[in-house]
Amino acid sequence: MRNLYLTNTLTRTKELFKPIHPGHVGMYVCGPTVYGDAHLGHARPGVTYDILFKLLQFLGYKVRYVRNITDVGHLEHDADEGEDKIAKKARLEQLEPMEIVQTYTERYHEAMRLLGNASPSIEPRASGHIIEQIETIKKILAAGYAYESNGSIYFDVEKYNRDFHYGVLSGRTLEDTLEGTRSLDGQSDKRAPYDFALWKKAEPEHIMRWPSPWGEGFPGWHLECSVMGEKYLGQEFDIHGGGMDLMFPHHECEIAQNQASRGTQGVHYWVHNNMITINGQKMGKSLGNFITLPELFAGNHPKLEQAYSPMTVRFFILQAHYRSTLDFSNEALQGAEKGYKRVMQAAKDLKGIQPAGAAHPEIAALYENAVEALCDDLNTPVAIAHVFEAVKWINSAKEKKATLSKEDLEQLGKLFDDVVFGVLGLRDEEAAAGGKAEKALEGAMTLVLEGRAKARAEKNWAESDRIRDILKAAGIVVKDTKEGAEWTLE
Ligand code: ZN
């Protein structure tokens, strides 16, 4: 098996990947909170961990990829304060929270499918794992790292930090953490501002609530990932991914919960993708640059000059390394669109090239170098640079400025199959759309010609001619043969 290197946030170094169980990889990625449409911020982790998933499979691993659905509902990654977002929306629209969850989960799936992302192996929901979350809280309480306060359970960060290091992932000290935390108001049940909720008592107006040994309430957001990761991947597993914005506090809290409940940090490689900015700005509702994926694909937002197809967006994301920031702008996306189309055109042209001349060793190297780049911490921009080299060769051969041997053509074919359409997960949208339209037309024409045949059987020549003329005006020529009517496009 080829060597794969990943930058591990825990050690802050690029490490040789060694799975716990040879040949098998357990990977957990934090999924969406489904109270609204998937937006640009979901596209990047969606694509990044899909590439990792596909690369691991390409390398020969059997991968169990778990990505959760946060449907219990928490206010902006902070279960401790404020109102539960799903519950709030439900009250306003007079809907059952799970109805909203269902709608947005389906819309999220559709956006991910359009972006070319494979479905995870398991997609567990927080609401389906309340019992397991309660059991984990009991273990943390028994270990002495949590306390009950007015029907809620909080993690005792100070006590934990005396025995372990709270901040091992983000490199923070408890003092750093304190600086970034609002001071406690008199209303809080917490002992210290950095303590986080494992279980929150539900106020009377709170819709989503479950019974527990501490009264009716709901689990803290950080807990679900600890619990579902353990349930589906074991007490220790290989890879945990997510956006850099989740590193603290979400993933830091996960490590603390794992250590307190099962005596191990639980995760061997922490992988974090960097964030997306829009024209250099952070995306935010107040900045007017909050773009959802359906808006992006339809070009339906004031910041967008045009629609950008899902594959253009995927190509754009792949042009940057996942650990670098990525700035969305119309110019950059239009550039990506051109690049994507050039690559797809070359894939088509490659099929029409006749072998000639001697083999070029540079072409064989392109495949190896592209795969090597992907194995070097998912260096997709370098892999794409090698693909563009291949495109140049194909274009030269098409213009008869170079010849490509049988071996060259095989190597180029492998590069497109394994790298472009394989690990990078690109597909030819135009061909796919064309194929769909063709199928639809065939279906419609079968129906139309059946109607015409019926008219002819009834010797209704006027109707038969009328259908033929309408079709002719639409560019469809109908010819009557002994076997029945045949049609072709003009
Ligand atoms: Zn998570």
Tell me the CA–centroid distance for residue 31 and ligand 1, in Å: 7
Q: Give pLDDT, residue 329.
A: 94
- C-alpha of residue 233 to centroid of ligand 1, in Å: 14
Distance 249 CA to ligand 1 centre (A): 10
In angstroms and rounded to an integer, the radius of gyration of the C-alpha atoms of the chain is 28
CA of 253 to the centre of ligand 1 (A): 10
**Alpha-carbon span 279 to 332, nearest angstrom:** 10
Distance 448 CA to ligand 1 centre (A): 53
11-20: long-range contacts (C-beta < 8 A, 24 or more apart)? 12/171, 14/377, 15/269, 17/238, 17/269, 19/61, 19/238, 20/236, 20/237, 20/238, 20/268
The rounded distance, in Å, linking the Cα atoms of 155 and 169 is: 17
8 CA distance to ligand 1 centroid (A)? 17
State the distance from the centre of ligand 1 to the C-alpha of 153, rounded, in angstroms: 19
CA 135–ligand 1 middle distance (angstroms): 18
pLDDT along the chain (490 residues), means of 10: 96 98 98 90 96 98 97 52 64 75 94 97 97 98 97 97 96 84 68 94 85 96 97 98 95 98 98 94 83 94 95 98 96 98 97 96 96 98 98 97 97 98 96 80 88 92 93 90 83
User: Which pLDDT score, from 0 to 100, does residue 78 have?
Assistant: 36
Q: Give me ligand 1 centre to Cα 29, in Å.
A: 7
- Whole-angstrom distance, CA of residue 137 vs CA of residue 131: 10
Distance 368 CA to ligand 1 centre (A): 35
CA of 190 to the centre of ligand 1 (A): 22
Q: How far is the CA of 364 from the centre of ligand 1 (A)?
A: 41
Residue 83 Cα to ligand 1 midpoint, Å, equals: 19
64 CA to centre of ligand 1 in angstroms: 16
CB 359 within 8 A of CB 410: no
Burial class (CB in 10 A: 0-12, 13-18, 19+), 484: exposed
CA of 407 from ligand 1 middle (Å) equals 46
Reported pTM: 0.86
Distance 266 CA to ligand 1 centre (A): 13
β-pair partners for 328: 278
Q: Which residues touch 439 (CB under 8 Å, ≥6 apart)? A: none
Question: 48 CA to middle of ligand 1, Å?
Answer: 16
Ligand 1 mean position, distance from CA 114 (Å):
23
Q: How far is the CA of 246 from the centre of ligand 1 (A)?
A: 7
CA of 106 to the centre of ligand 1 (A): 20
Distance CA 215, CA 480 (A): 78
Burial 437-458 (b: 16+ CB within 10 A, else e): eeeeeeeeeeebbeebeebbee
Q: Which residues of 107-123 are buried (b: 16+ CB within 10 A; e: fewer)?
A: bbeebbebbbbeebeee
Which two three-digit tokens encode residue 406?
């049988």
How far does residue 272's CA lie from ligand 1's centre (Å)? 12
Provide the token pair at 85: 């977002």
Nearby residues for ligand 1 (ion, Cβ within 5 Å): 30, 225
Cα(224) to centroid(ligand 1), Å? 7
Query: Is the separation of the CB atoms in 114 and 100 below 8 Å?
Result: no
Query: Ligand 1: distance of its center to the CA of 267 in Å?
Result: 13
**How much distance in Å is there from the Cα of 32 to the middle of ligand 1?**
9
Q: Are strands 276-278 and 326-328 parallel, antiparallel or unpaired?
A: parallel
